[in-house]
Structure 1
């Protein structure tokens, strides 16, 4: 059932889903399956596999819960064939819990107490025959022994019995939920007396909009305002009529129609109408508000997390400047601008601090210091963090480069988000043990221009700050989503086994922090890896981890040229057959576009390797280790545009997108 459900949702064959589920259950990762098991899944890509993995988790949880519910109701001896069929047919957790509601063990309610007092026959009688006079029938149930003092108490007990019965009817709940999803509004108002303190929420002081179409950023803003006790928010079931005191909600009409209750002036009709009103206002209305607000928050959080994940993906997959000597500047005003120079490999070759801004105002001296450092180390790129003092520092560097036209360095503004977090981390202290904490941020700013992916994976993803309301969403879901993004990015690019940090290695398919640490320890003890097979000597790195990781790990200038490519070691026999057929050595095959394009992939298909794998191998041999990231280029900021006043309608500017949210993008235009 789960296999067919996912296949329908993804519009793929059940056999594809079944194959992917088997691989996932065996411990294969999404990047590994997407790249190296295309024949098995018939070409499912990483996006389809991520969706499949997510739905598989949800549907398995649903199935586990279904079995728990069936067992519980069966043990109560209340499981009818009809109810069992409804439970088996439930395709989401909400429907399943609705069906379980009447049978759910719970503490004693007013309705249960009334049943224990013998009032259920009274409730049943009035519900079945509205021609009965409530007070007259209720008099028969007065009992000091049962705690029913008078007719009022008897009718109150009967009312609670019916209210709970109505509120636990799955069919009714589905009707009301459908109506509210189509019509209800969310309304926010400022908490009285908080007008000044809540000024940032002024858009929501008296705000109403359709619940089903609230954008995620507005929903999260209202929830945050409520959490801070700045806003009241409520669900409005009947928009436009909520201020009418005599107004009865349309939901009350739905309840009455569901149970075929009509007010025809009979003795019990008014009492039953009151039961309906109380059912809505006290039971179902509050329950639905909680449920629908919960769903709204969940949906808004999911959208916010998706925005965050996409931004992080774009940041990690940004074009690397590559092996260029880079100066990193961590701007500051009173505390000075921290300076670090790293060589082409990212090794720190120089650091200092300059004080161009107030109160020291050492502008000219700072320019001379930067110019001398650029000349001394032949700096090619100057990476400026975009924090406090960045505009002033950018101006300083611009003037320095103008005054020293012989310098070939380019200045680029980069996000410094997370640099301070990295500076104080245990990893930074191990990587840069002799460097003052205040200078480590400048090193990170320089390195993240050389290779954003390799540097940013060292930072807790949430500290990078490329999302909206990231602190308001489920931190566990956010963390899981961002980890998946990093895993996909790292494996899409590939990792140099002999230079990668433990942080970078830990995201490689099949590896974890322990194995990453063990790889680095092995490297430190035995020297650089000469071939992928040497990974098998790493402590605790077994056959499964090797299978999952090997294809994503590169060894440059190793004993086997294929180890620097994305060809998996398990597929080396395919290349052996290519070498045998063409009589061309591996080294001469690599990059030999003319020869490779003449080869027919079908000639190298075997029981183990199909057309998709052979095509991937030929493509990889043509351009080994190709980087999926775009070519590095910088935005040319327009001269004379320094303030908002300099902007004119119709002006076209180059810029750098620094952040994206559902309501728009933030672009640095200089």
Structure 2
């Protein structure tokens, strides 16, 4: 544990005592949101991102330590554990280093080398390697034994060679040298599987491709691996990019240098050279290829998961429209537009289905029905799902509002991703047992405008559709990362315990699904909670769970004014002391900006509550229950622009950022097909990370710079003075030389024009990921 604390402290650049405190809190059952918000003195003010990183690394390092113990025990049982080896094992900092050291001692199936050793050929291998003056054939002649499977000199020498190859291929230091060289100099190459050119056309940019291992961006790496998995691409490691096939590999030179081999025309040198060459070509090249491709994939998956997590956070933390009566519309053509109206609390007031489109064309009837529901239920907001026929539905609502000026409602287009998943879920069936599945989606669309966070937590995070290659990454790691995002968002906003659903409550710090259900059941049976203390009466709500959850659960208009704030019950005494010292009632202290800004937090510091906590308390009292989410705004889509064919180059539009990837941002401009703003078109200045400029949910102005109607692709720019390009030509398959030139552009100045073929390929890949 001392070593783990020291390593974590170095990685996070903090004190070991901070690390120790966090480890004790985590091991004691505290959650990251609770530690970040209410234990700042103990952790030295570590924020939630640092705590998440610490938590993740702690798991890795503990697994590393457990594996280290297993390996030492295994080698010791073999009576092969020397003090030097044990020291190396204890010094290993990664699982890869540890497994390299264990490789020679790891139980394995019988190999050619082991069979040769069992046949007594190890003296041949040792003699020829240590004494190259020996004649290989003469040495081998004494070890021919047909009964043991070595009937001639050649088979004896092959067996001896296998012994040495396997021995050398298990040298940890050699593996380390090769790994470092290949990572710095090797290339990943791709070629099309013969006969798959037409079927795999979407991967044509990679039919003849090569790029440095350490420079491949995550989205390109995942596209390559997807092409291989779908049977269209072959991927290989090129250890010597630019070298002719007849030249020897630099990797072989590294092996020779490590083994201190030099060909001096001695009798055994040709045989020894074969040992060196075959050690690389037969034993190590495939091993390194598999390992380094795994490293690329692991890195690419981590980056993709981070993109997904960042986009999910932006979507969950989108501005809520608030507690207003809302009509939700789930657009459809033949099946009609599903309609649902919910009240300020999200309770369903009425549902219907209208058929304004083909084949029924009941436009007038649809307008009358919608207007009647708006008037009957006093609708203030109309939430329109952005799926098929959303723009036509948007126009229908605009016509309805024009024809019925007494309807004072604002129409808003919302992202309907995941609504169908929720509609068919067990949760939706429990909530609306008598409602048609299609109408449940309309309810969800209405609620997600009122409060995106409260509604989206009901949907499995990866079904929300804001990821990059989400089905190509580790599903367990993806789920773990997204669950952490949801937990952080829910606790950052806080939850009204008298309004929250079970899915929302179970994301609160310290609450399990069972406890969340118990809270709702208790609320249904006993009525609304009047105080946080009353939560202790909920079955299975113990002191620890209460400690973790109480500060994030809000009770507006309860018996205790502080219960509606983020002040934790454990700190109520501090607030009462502040009120007493300033001779004001507790209720009048809350929100008293003039008084609170004059107080010195240091005056209330004691053994239990330090300066960070007191400062947080005063800030919270100034604006109790403040929502960290931004102000609600809507985008105005251009009238008459409803499909890609309606777009023209140089057209300036307002749109909503739906997704941010490493290569740019996707923007919904209201034509059922998101346009791509490449990273080079986000700003006039250099951009290394698109998220520095935009995030999901942002409303932006963009200009159309290129249209590819055949492939339904839209290229946009946020540099509104940028000139449109010529119409896109059908892209040709790139050569390795062209790719090398382009791929070296990983360091490319973002002010350079976007390669339209690559832009289209990226759009293709991302659209496929979203569809999945």
Q: TM-score range by the shorter chain?
A: over 0.9
Alignment match, 2:73 = 71
CA offset digits 1:480-515 (Å, max 9, x no partner): 101000000000000011110000000000011011
> Who is 1:595 aligned against?
595
The answer on 1:323 being equivalent to 2:323 is: yes
**Alignment of structure 1 residues 140-539 onto 2, 5 Å:** 140-241=142-243, 244-539=244-539
> Whole-Å Cα distance in 1 between the matches of residues 133 and 423 of structure 2?
79
Aligned with 2:349: secondary structure? strand
Separation in 1 of the partners of 2:662 and 2:362? 43
The aligned residue for residue 42 of structure 2 is 40
Give the Å deviation of 1:216: 1.1
The structural deviation recorded for 1:364 is 2.7
Q: State the distance in 1 between where 2:514 and 2:584 align.
A: 41
SS of the residue corresponding to residue 655 of structure 1 reads strand
Q: For residues 336 and 651 of structure 1, what CA distance do their matches in structure 2 show?
A: 32
User: In 2, Cα distance between the equivalents of 1:341 and 1:438?
Assistant: 14
Cα shift readout 1:352-374 (whole Å, capped 9, x = no counterpart): 11111112122232222222222
RMSD of aligned alpha carbons: 1.4
Q: CA deviation at 1:652?
A: 4.7
Summarize deviations over 1:383-402 as a string: whole Å, max 9, x none. Answer: 11111222221222223223
Partners of 1:521 and 1:407 lie apart in 2 by 38
Give the aligned partner of residue 61 of structure 1.
Answer: 63
Which runs of structure 2 are paired with 1:128-139 in the superposition (5 Å)?
A: 128-139=130-141
Question: What SS does the aligned partner of 1:339 have?
Answer: strand
- Cα distance in 2 between the residues matched to 1:357 and 1:640: 17
- State how far apart, in whole Å, the 2-side matches of 1:508 and 1:299 are: 31
Tell me if the contact between 2:640 and 2:646 (Cα under 8 Å) persists in the aligned partners.
Answer: yes
In the alignment, is residue 119 of structure 1 matched against residue 104 of structure 2?
no
Residue 551, structure 1, aligned to residue 571, structure 2? no
Counterpart CA distance in 2 for 1:357 and 1:648 is 26
Kindly state the Cα deviation for residue 639 of structure 1 after the two structures are TM-superposed: 4.0
Asked whether the 8 Å contact 2:385–2:416 carries over to 1, the reply is: yes
Residue-by-residue CA offset, 1:7-59 (whole Å, 9 max, x unaligned): 11111111111111110111100000000000001101101100100111111
Task: Give the distance between the partners of 2:239 and 2:108, measured in 1 at CA.
Answer: 28
How far residue 430 of structure 1 moved from its aligned partner, in angstroms, is 2.0
8 Å contact from structure 1 (residues 339, 352) kept in 2: yes
* 2:654 counterpart SS class: coil
- Matched residues in 2 for 1:300 and 1:603: separation? 50
Q: How many equivalent pairs are there? A: 668
Q: Which runs of 4+ in 1 moved over 6 A?
A: none
Q: Deviations over 1:150-187 (max 9, x none)?
A: 11111011010010011101111111101110111111
Match of 1:618 in 2: 618
Q: Name the SS for the 1:379 alignment partner.
A: coil
Deviation, structure 1 residue 642: 4.1
- How big is the shift at 1:145? 4.4
CA contact (8 A) 1:118 1:146 kept: no
Matches of 1:147 and 1:334, distance apart in 2: 75
2:94 corresponds in structure 1 to 92
> Which residue does the alignment assign to 1:18?
20
8 Å Cα contact 1:564-1:625 kept in structure 2: yes
**Greater CA drift, 380-389 or 292-301:** 380-389
**Residue 111 of structure 2: aligned partner:** 109
Q: C-alpha offsets along residues 61-83 of structure 1, whole Å, 9 cap, x if unaligned?
A: 11111111111111111111211
The answer (yes or no) to whether the contact 2:391–2:642 under 8 Å persists in 1 is no
| Conserved? CA contact 2:218–2:304, under 8 Å | yes
**Counterpart Cα distance in 1 of 2:308 and 2:11:** 25
Contact 2:392-2:642 at 8 Å conserved across structures? no
1:564 paired residue number: 564
CA distance in 2, matches of 1:12, 1:647: 53
Query: 5+ unaligned residues in a row in structure 1: which ranges?
Result: none
Describe the superposition over 1:331-363 as per-residue Cα deviations: whole angstroms up to 9, x where unpaired. 111111101111111111111111111121222
Q: Kindly state the Cα deviation for residue 641 of structure 1 after the two structures are TM-superposed.
A: 4.2
CA deviation string 1:284-314 (max 9, x = no partner): 0000111011111111111111000011100
Shift of 1:535: 1.1
CA distance in 1, matches of 2:211, 2:398: 48
Q: CA deviation at 1:645?
A: 6.1
Structure 2 segments unaligned to the other structure (5+ residues): 671-772
Q: Aligned equivalents of 1:91 and 1:377: distance in 2?
A: 64
Q: Give the deviation of 1:434 after TM superposition.
A: 2.5
Q: For residues 292 and 519 of structure 2, what CA distance do their matches in structure 1 show?
A: 49
Q: Which position in structure 1 is the counterpart of 2:694?
A: none
How far does residue 245 in structure 1 lie from its aligned partner after superposition? 3.9
Q: Secondary structure at the match of 2:236?
A: strand
Q: Distance in 1 between matches of 2:343 and 2:198?
A: 52
What TM-score, normalized by structure 1, do the two folds share? 0.98
Q: Any conservation in 1 of the 2:311–2:660 contact (CA below 8 Å)?
A: yes
**How far is the alpha carbon of 1:415 from its aligned partner?**
1.2
Once the two structures are TM-superposed, the CA of residue 201 in structure 1 deviates from its matched residue by 1.4
Q: How far is the alpha carbon of 1:643 from its aligned partner? A: 4.8
Q: 1: CA distance between counterparts of 2:453 and 2:56?
A: 25
SS in 2 for 1:449: helix
CA separation in 2, counterparts of 1:577 and 1:300?
53
Deviations 1:426-465 (A, max 9, x none): 2112222221111000000000000000000011111111
Three-state SS of the structure 2 residue aligned to 1:654 is: strand
Q: Distance in 2 between matches of 1:276 and 1:415?
A: 60
Distance 1:355 1:275 in 2: 77
Relative to structure 2, which stretch is displaced further, 149-158 or 382-391? 382-391
* 1:102-145 Cα deviation digits (max 9, x unpaired): 01111111111111111111101111111211111111111234
Residue 650 (structure 1) shift: 6.0
Separation of aligned partners in 1, 2:204 and 2:387: 28
Instruction: Confirm or deny: 8 A CA contact 2:129 2:272 kept in the other structure.
Output: yes
Is contact 2:345–2:499 with CA below 8 Å preserved after alignment? no
1:637 to partner: Cα distance: 2.6
Q: Distance in 2 between matches of 1:58 and 1:258?
A: 31
